[in-house]
Structure 1
Amino acid sequence: MAEPEPEPAEETDTTLLETALEAVRDVGPPARQVWLPPLGQAPTVAEMLRSEGATSLPAWGAEPVLTVPVGLVDRPFEQLRTPLTADLRGAGGHTAVIGGPQSGKSTLLVSLITALALTNTPEQVQFYILDFGGGTLRGVADLPHVGGICGRMDVERVTRTVAEMTALLGRREQFFADHGIDSIGAYRRRRAAGEFSDQPYGDVFLVIDGWATVRSDMIDLIADITQIAQRGLNYGIHLIVASPRWADVQSSLRDLLVTRFELRLGDAVDSAINMRQAEKVPRIPGRGLTAEFKHFLSALPHMEEGPEASVTDVVETIKERWDGPSAPQVRLLPLSLPASELPSPEAGPKIALGLEERRLEPLWHDFSVLPHLLVVGDNESGKTNILRLVTRTIRERYSATEARVVVVDPRRGLFNAIPEEQRLGYAVTGESAREMMQAAAQALKPRLPGPEVTPEQLRERSWWTGPELFVIIDDYDLLSSGGGGPLTPLMEMLPHGADIGFHLILARGAGGFSRAMGEPVLRMLIDANTPSMVLSCPPSEGVLFGSLRPQRLPPGRALRFDRRDPVKVQLALDPETEEAAARD
């Protein structure tokens, strides 16, 4: 049987052009692409720094580096991608990062921080961070450059951080004046040359992730932060702010934030650059728009690329390389402060009541200038302790011929506070207290200055002789009544206390204080701007002094209110109070 004939091979219809293209496909270099591919994979901070010439990281030098890359700018018509830089040397020293939810604001902040940390030592730049976002900035908490980081729930640390920056600004102003420094540039150069080795701060950055939280929950801090923005650049103090919208940042502050990064916005109408161009920014974290209408992609705060890379690698790399001092930490008020740790003046009626929060310096009360003191607080908040501090000062600085004391003490907490030779009277009831006040008023009335008293006599208090009179009242709310209580006889003397040697130190409970403020004696003290120590009080009491709202505070913590803004104070613990607490 004959074999079947093989099927003919399938014909291929190859044109001459295809044959020619196949022959030259791999001959010579490929043609240059007209368009670059879209911005996709974000570069790392380390990669950006290496492309800028850093041969090794960290790249630390003798002088601070305040111009750093934080991303890539796409320039398609030029077929280029150029670094997105933050130039923080001069007028651009303050920075704003604006973007909608999940746009990459916090990551861009971390990239900026790590870029600066990789190019500057912890002696050259320091960061103080208020992290009101999602906690992303906690990743840099262990950097030796970071002097403090806190969230919205840690109100005390937030307040102290801003206060520390404000105090640093004041110290820098004085330091520049004392040393003839005419600019922050001169300070940087002289410090790099070895001068000012006792100054632990270089360029300082206050970083706030979540400005809207400040606007809504921490209004009291806005004035201080704005002052830092207005005056800080002249002294090397920078502000970096992140917020979802430009409208969240008031114009007085927004105009000072010259270095700006606008990421994808929640609503393009909020754009400070161009609404139509902002609409074109893709919903990809890190993508944004420059003032030139160019798209950018922010860098990732990593040392290397890869899914396992993180900011921890940057932190560990820097920690391994640095063996010098870290950034100064934010100091906090102590929870307990023995009176022995405070300075004592040589003489006179000046007393250190505790430490004030703004500068962590002693809070002095001078009874020769401010003759009276008002103390308000709940039970066990520390009212009687303040009175013991005052009585101890009287015992130690006055003899019986120089000062006499009247004590009104319904609960007998001050029974042994004043020695018998200095004690003019001691009362535990309203009736006996009124009798003593009437006697005190009769003794003080001749001291009131009449028309015959000259200005020189007023200044020297030379028209009368006799001891200073201190009237110390604890638990005044147990004694007072609608008619003014036992102090009514002394009302005429209250405005003249500093002139006639009369001092009223009055403590009362917090309950019902807002209603009692209309009582004549309290009203007179308040109208005379008598310094007030407001310890723990129920918030239900409402506004007490000016705009001061009471707070729940730990024992010994108070808000001092006078002609200036309220300041938080940790009161000194009198030794007798300390011993009683130890026994309990």
Structure 2
Amino acid sequence: MINDYGQTELLTADLSEDEVVQVTNQQAEKTQLEAIVDQIAAIATETKAVLPDKPWLPPLATVIATPQIDFKTNWQQPRTTAAPLGLLDVPSKQSQITFNFDLETQGNTLIYSSPGFGKTTALQTLLMNFAKENTPAQMQFNLLDFGTNGLLPLKDLPHVADLVNLEQVEKLTKMLQRIREQLDDRKQAFQQAGVASLTQYEMSTKKQLPIIVNVIDSYDAALEDQQRDAIDSTLMQVLREGNSLGIYLVMTTSRSSGIRMAMLSNMATQLPLFLIDNDELRNIMGREYIQQQAFNGRGQLAVDEQVNAIQIYTPNPETETLAILQRLKEDVTVMAASWQGERPSVLPIVPSEFELAAFNHDQRVVEWVAAGKLPFGLALSDTAPLGFIPDQQAFFLIAHSTEEQLANIQKVLFAQFKALAKTKALFIVDLESELKEQHDLFNQVFTNDLEDIAALKQLMADYVQAATENRRLESAIMYIADLEQFFKGTNFNLADFKLTIQKGRQAGLSIIIQSPENYVGRSFDPYAPGIREIVSARLVMAKLSETNLIQATGSTMAGQLAENEAYYFESKGRKYAKMRFAGQK
């Protein structure tokens, strides 16, 4: 609009209508190339044209579920050493195929990945698929979980012997011992059969032995552990001898540095998943490696002298982490319930603490008491009862180091006395009357009263005389509550006391002696060395290196015993076992 001054003015300040028209026009515009592509696509759709093959396959998916395996059907089939592990991308053959991990081909295997990129999932998938392909009679697993309990959901598989971690020192020691025993047992069996491999042994003897797979998750956690030398020693034996015996090792780690070269050189297969440090990948694969992709479960594997990408399967069709874990537990439960056959034996473990009532209800303990034995605790090696066997042992010595140990063992001791009260006479020598509240348990109590001391000496003399005349008196157990006080209070002659011990059992008298370890084990008192010379069975609550009661050698680095632990010795100290009795540690 032209105003009165001949100047141009806007008719309106709102220009949005023109802008909308402009945008609309811009949106409506199409390039010539786009128009041509759309026309070709329309014609192809109308004529139902067949698209040509692409020169490459689509990329591997980042989450792929393992193929479904019907374990009930497979458990009726012969053993197989192969199971699906992942989807392998093979560009040279224009294919993506399932990679079946075969123990006989891949052998001992090391899987790498940085934390959170799927190495534990790889173990879960592999073990679940092996378990679905084979029965527990055909394949068994020893699980060593040094990571964050990633193998825990598999613990109840019927194929699993047991699962241990680094914190379970006693259990780990037993697991390593079992692995060594399995190797030694098979070597001996193969030698007797005159064969060199599992296949030859089964063909020769017509007996089938299970494949044993030792699985370690997060081995690198053991690199700084005090038990590393023991772990590596056992693993090296598996790596050197296991393949021909049907015993294999599959383990994961986040880095190769720190692993002994002797171990790495015996790993037939090394499978790296994503590693943050590219130098680590080059150390593993050398110059033949492909570009890494930071996906969970994405790795690379050399197959037929060519490195290809592989996507590790998830162990079930679920895609979310929690759902995968829940489904894993459900599958394990179903498989465990479905197997009614023999399973691998679990490691024998004595609880760190257990109640006296639970101990006395153990069927083996009940049988001991019924046989006239006094069970005191359970051996840590095999959980068998240990204690005093009157028919085989002339007398029994219990040497404690602390008042807590004394209280714990006496609690057990008096409970066993009570159980034997119907079959044996019970005597107690309590010169200081420190156990007065327990005196009602015993048929006869001897204190420091002169009449009691005289009666005690006469009782011992009667049993010696009866033994000399080949007679048996009432079957009895005598408990001497304090050895040092006994000799001081009775003025008993050492030779006479030895005679009572040696002859008394023949007439039915068994003696249990209680003493502080620093007296009976280290004192130069005339009586203590004499007792040490004749004792054949004993319970010693002291370190092996700190007592003269033990002939076996021990390390000064060994830790102190817990308040409910002791060494049980036979054969005058040459044969021993560590044990644990009821009470707090």
TM-score interval (norm. to shorter)? 0.5 to 0.7
Find the residue that maps to 2:310 and give its secondary structure. strand
Q: Does 1:524 align with 2:548?
A: yes
**Aligned with residue 64 of structure 1, among 63, 66, 79:** 79
Superposed CA deviations along residues 422-452 of structure 1, whole A, max 9, x for unmatched, are 49995758566357688316977x9xxxxxx
1:449 corresponds to which residue? Answer: none
Question: CA offsets, 1:256-309, max 9 Å, x none?
Answer: 443332222343334442366669322222122324562433332344375697
Q: Does 1:32 align with 2:86?
A: no
User: What secondary structure sits across from 2:141 in the alignment?
Assistant: strand
Q: Name the structure with the higher helix share.
A: 2
Cα shift readout 1:449-492 (whole Å, capped 9, x = no counterpart): xxxxxxxxxxxxxxxx9678998653527x859x965x521465
For structure 2, the 5+ residue unaligned runs are 1-28, 445-455, 461-476
Whether the aligned pair in 2 keeps the contact of 1:474 and 1:506 (CA below 8 Å) is no
Give the structure 1 partner of residue 64 of structure 2: 43
Cα drift, residue 110 of structure 1? 0.6
Kept in 1: contact 2:242–2:248 (CA 8 A):
yes
Q: Is the 8 A contact 2:480 2:513 kept in 1?
A: no
Q: Secondary structure at the match of 2:214?
A: strand
The aligned residue for residue 474 of structure 1 is 514
Asked if 1:285 corresponds to 2:296, the answer is yes
Q: Give the distance between the partners of 2:100 and 2:224, measured in 1 at CA.
A: 31
- Please list, as runs of the form range in 1=range in 2, the aligned pairs for 1:94-243 lying within 5 A after superposition: 94-149=108-163, 158=172, 161-162=175-176, 165=179, 183-185=197-199, 202-217=210-225, 219=227, 222=231, 223-224=233-234, 226-227=236-237, 230-243=240-253
> Paired residue for 1:488, among 525, 542, 546?
525
Check the 8 A contact 1:167/1:358 in 2, yes or no. no
Query: Distance between the aligned counterparts of 1:361 and 1:418, measured in 2?
Result: 31
- After superposition, give the CA deviation of every residue in 1:317-369 in whole Å (9 maximum; x if it has no partner): 67657733263462433644338725769999x99764433344455899989
Residue type of the alignment partner of 2:103: L
State how 1:308-387 maps to structure 2 within 5 Å: 310=324, 312-313=326-327, 316=330, 323-325=338-340, 327-328=343-344, 330=346, 331-333=348-350, 335=354, 336-338=358-360, 341=364, 354-361=377-384, 374-376=399-401, 379=404, 382-384=408-410
User: Is 1:440 the counterpart of 2:494 in the alignment?
Assistant: yes
Alpha carbons of structure 1 residues 129 and 69: separation in structure 2 relative to 1, 3 Å: same
Matched residue, 1:5: none
CA distance in 2, matches of 1:131, 1:337: 30
Provide, for residues 216-257 of structure 1, a one-character-per-residue CA deviation record: whole Å limited to 9, x for no partner. 446175255555555554544433322222234334544444
Tell me the distance in 1 between the aligned counterparts of 2:394 and 2:117. 56
Consecutive unaligned residues of structure 1, counting only runs of 5 or more, are 1-9, 447-464, 531-543
| AA in 1 matched with 2:284 | I
What SS class does the counterpart of residue 294 from structure 1 fall into?
strand
Which is further off, 559-568 or 288-297? Answer: 559-568
Give runs of aligned pairs for residues 411-560 of structure 1, distance below 5 A: 411-412=434-435, 421-422=459-460, 430=484, 433-434=487-488, 439-440=493-494, 473-474=513-514, 476=516, 480=519, 485=523, 488-490=525-527, 493=530, 496-497=533-534, 502=535, 505=538, 523-526=547-550, 528-529=551-552, 545-550=555-560, 552=562, 555=564, 557-558=565-566
Matched, 1:258 2:268: yes
Distance across 1 between alignment mates of 2:443 and 2:408: 19
Counterpart residue type for residue 211 of structure 1: Y
The TM-score with structure 1 as length reference comes to 0.63
In structure 1, what is the Cα distance between the partners aligned to 2:117 and 2:574? 41
SS at match of 1:290: strand
Contact 2:183 2:238 in 1 (8 A): yes
Q: Report the alpha carbon displacement of residue 87 of structure 1 after superposing the two structures with TM.
A: 1.9
C-alpha contact 1:427 1:433 (8 A) present in aligned 2: no
CA contact (8 A) 2:379 2:578 kept: yes
Instruction: Kindly provide the CA deviation profile for residues 400-433 of structure 1, in whole angstroms up to 9, marking residues without a partner as x.
Output: xxxx999998844897789853499957585663
Normalising to structure 2: TM-score of the pair?
0.63
User: 1:529 is aligned with what amino acid?
Assistant: A
Task: Tell me which residue corresponds to 1:304.
Answer: 317
Structure 2 residue aligned with 1:541? none
Shift of 1:120: 1.5
CA distance, structure 2, for counterparts of residue 98 and residue 551 of structure 1:
39
SS in 2 for 1:524: coil
Distance between the aligned counterparts of 2:40 and 2:363, measured in 1?
A: 94
Quick one: distance in 2 between partners of 1:183 and 1:323? 32
2:101 alignment counterpart: 86
Quote the RMSD (CA, aligned, Å).
5.8
